Amino acid sequence: MTIDYPIKDINVKVGTAAISKDDGNIDEELVEHLVKSIVELKEDGRNVIITTSGAIGMGKSKIKLSGDDEINKQTYAAIGQHRLMGLYSKYFDKYKIETAQFLLTKEDFEGEKYENLFNGYNNAIENGIVPIINENDPVCIEEIRVGDNDNLASLVTEKLGQDLLIFLTRYEGLLRNGNTVLNPTKSPVCFNHKLYDLKEPFMTGFGGIETKLAVIEKVVNQSKKPCIVAKLDKRYGLKEIMLGNDKDGNAVKRSIFWPEELQAQYNNPNK
C-alpha cells in the first residue's frame, strides 16, 4: 500500500480487548510491544498520541465490588487509571520518552477549556511527549460524558488535528463471515453494522463494534480523515499496519476507511 496523503499526526485508539489476555487481565507484553511500535513511528518523525481504554478493566482486576452499576464503574476507573498510566510510562521510560495524562470530558472541548487543552496538548507534542488520553470516568456524569473512548478518539482527532485514527482491537479489521473486509469504503453501505460480525469480548468499557462503525463514519465523512481498524499483534507494529505488509513482505490484514475526497491519494494493492 502507498499513501501519498501526508500522515504526520496519528491517534492510536487502544481498546480494552486489544491489550487484554483471555482472562481479562492486561497483557503487559502487548503494552510493551505497542510502546515499541509507537517509538518506531516517532523515530520516523511522526507525532503519536494514545486514546486508551482499559482503566475499568484494570480496576476490576484489582478489586471486586458488589454490583455493576455506574458508581462502581467510576470506582474501578479511579483505581485503574493511575495503574494503566504507570504501565505505559514504565515502557516509555525505557526509551527516555515522557508521557502526559489527559483526562477529559465533553466540557474540555468547549470555550476556554478547549483553548487550554489545545495549548497543553501542542506543548506536549512540541517537547516530544506522548499524550495519553482517557475519558475522566471517575467524575463523569451523563451531561458531560463524551460517551466512550471510541467517541472520545473521534473528538480528539477532529479537535486536535490528527491526520489518521487507528483503532486497535482483537481482530484483523472488520470481519464479514469471519473474513477481513480490507477496503470497506469501496462499498456505499460500508457503515451498515448488520454486514459485519459483531462479537466483541471483554465488554468492560462502554464501546463496541457498532460504536466504532458510527465513529468511523463520522471521522471519514465529516472530518475527512482516514481510519484503520486492525489487530494489536506482536508479529507486526503500527508502521506495518499502515503499510499493509510486515517486514517479511507478508500482508497485514486490516480494514482501511479512506475519505472519498482523498481516494486519488490512496493506492492499496490488497483491496
- Burial of residue 69 (CB within 10 Å: 0-12, 13-18, 19+) is exposed
* 67: its cell numbers: 454490583
CA distance 128 to 169: 26
26-42 CB burial, b ≥16 within 10 A, e <16: bbeebbbbbbbbbbebe
Report helix, strand or coil for 230.
Answer: strand
d(CA 215, CA 22): 26
Tally of domains within the chain: 1
pLDDT at 258: 84
The answer for residues whose C-beta is within 8 angstroms of residue 93's C-beta and 6 or more apart is none
Residue 169: burial class (beta carbons within 10 Å; 0-12, 13-18, 19+): buried
Instruction: Return the pLDDT at 203.
Output: 41
Tell me which residues of the chain have a pLDDT lower than 50: 1-2, 4, 143-144, 188-189, 201-207, 269-271
Spatial CA neighbour of 212 closest among 51, 2, 42: 51
Give me the helices (H) in the chain, please.
28-43, 55-62, 70-92, 111-126, 149-159, 209-221, 238-243
The pLDDT of residue 178 is 74
pLDDT one-digit tens code per residue, 99-109: 999 999 889 99
Looking at residue 29, its pLDDT comes to 96
State residue 266's pLDDT score: 56
Q: Which SS3 state, helix, strand or coil, does residue 128 take?
A: coil
> In this predicted model, what pLDDT tens digit does every residue of 87-143 receive, in sequence order?
999 999 999 999 999 999 889 999 999 999 999 999 999 999 999 999 887 766 554
The CATH number given to whatever domain includes residue 9 is: 3.40.1160.10
Q: From the CA atom positions of the chain, what is the Rg in Å?
A: 18
Do 154 and 218 form a contact (C-beta atoms < 8 A)?
yes
Q: Check residue 111 and give its pLDDT.
A: 94
User: Residue 44: its pLDDT value, please?
Assistant: 93
Strand duo 266-267 + 2-3: pairing: antiparallel
Residues written for the chain: 271
Q: What global pTM score does this model have?
A: 0.88
Boundaries of domain holding 259: 2-267
Contacts with 110 (C-beta within 8 Å, 6 or more apart), sequence order = none
